Amino acid sequence: MLNHYELEQCTEPVLAFKKGFQRKIEGQGQGGHSDSENKKMLRENALIVGIFKMVVLPVLGQLADEYGRKPLLLLTVSTSIVPFALLAINESKEFVYAYYVTRTLSFIISQGSIFCISVAYVADVVENSKRAAVFSWITGLFSASHVLGNILARFLPEEYIFEVSIALLVFCPVYITLFLTETVTPTTRQDQRLPIFNKALKVVQERYNSMRHALTIVLSSPTLKSISLVSFFYELGMSGISSVLLYYLKSAFGFNKNQFSEILTMVGVGSIVSQALLYGLAWASWTYAIISKAASSTDQGKAQGFVGGVQSIASLLSPLAMSPLTSWFLSSTAPFNCKGFSIVCASICMVASLFCALMLKPEATLNADSRENIESIEAPLLS
């Protein structure tokens, strides 16, 4: 579990240094780009990431089942190194644009997939009865990394931001390489002598068949279908709140950077208590444990990746609706006086998620016969 804690720490620098970098972007805007153009660039960046994540995240889950957890973890955690290295080398306009490009690619590959692959890894090494508690402690440690990141954002001198972030980011793949053991036997390929075009066509066919297989797994399980709805509405609400909250607090109450950091730190501390302690001691199965129990051992990555893809769809749709809605109700043209109306809408989505969760029956997991039937639908993709 300590290995996974170190893995999740790779997100800490991003959380810690996002605010300092934002000031640098605004400085670039003063030299030739307005704030509105910078905000437009950030929105387009988020849109591109959301669209590609819907496809990439399930595919990475499938690849983790076929080629092993360790190579995919190394790939996902290493993608964040280059963007921050570029800003550490130079903060000119060209390097800022290079940061945008590489950071977009990094978000597409790593955002969400790191946690899904980590959960699949835990499912390989932890027995069913203990998974809920282990997953809860992992998310608690993940929340602790958020707290540490916001503390660094509050107190770390700006000139050391990118150097510290690179050191933390480089530590992650080194730790994985040295201490993490592979739990999946990679599938051997028998098409090494095929022409390049045929290889490419075969890869596309394999990915299509694998994604169809993942869809079959979810649709064949009432539990996985229900948890997909829970995850969709929950992510729809959480993405909506997180995408507009800081903007809302700044516009409605005049919050500054330090107040943002203090609020996020308090939220992180609450997450540590609720996720690591309360969920770990609770009798009910938790989201990732439910998904893990409802899927066979060979389909852990596919199931986690599919649900992660559903969450990616929600995280794409939510900001597209919430951002203009927030701006509208904060303006003088709002139809009625409710500045936080977008947050109310996001909260309604989370209530819908709670309703779906109350209707969930964790005991309705796949039995052995059902798993065998699903696994017999298609032969191994790379046999």
Query: How confident is the model over 255-302, as pLDDT tens digits?
Result: 766 676 677 777 766 666 665 555 554 434 456 666 666 666 666 667
Nearest 5 degrees, angle CA 62-CA 63-CA 65? 65
Taking the C-alpha atoms of residue 313 and residue 298, their distance in angstroms, rounded to an integer, is: 25
pLDDT of residue 333: 85
pLDDT of residue 29: 45
Provide the token pair at 105: 């690619």
Domains of the chain: 2-181+196-375 (1.20.1250.20)
Phi, psi values for residue 324, rounded to 5°: -65, -30
Q: Which band of pLDDT confidence, cut at 50, 70 and 90, is reported for residue 26?
A: very low
Is the pTM higher than 0.85? The answer reads no
Q: Which band of pLDDT confidence, cut at 50, 70 and 90, is reported for residue 31?
A: very low
pLDDT at 360 over 70: yes
More confident residue, 19 or 350: 350
Mean pLDDT value across residues 208-222? 74
pLDDT of residue 190: 57
Q: Which band of pLDDT confidence, cut at 50, 70 and 90, is reported for residue 17?
A: very low
Provide the token pair at 125: 């090494």
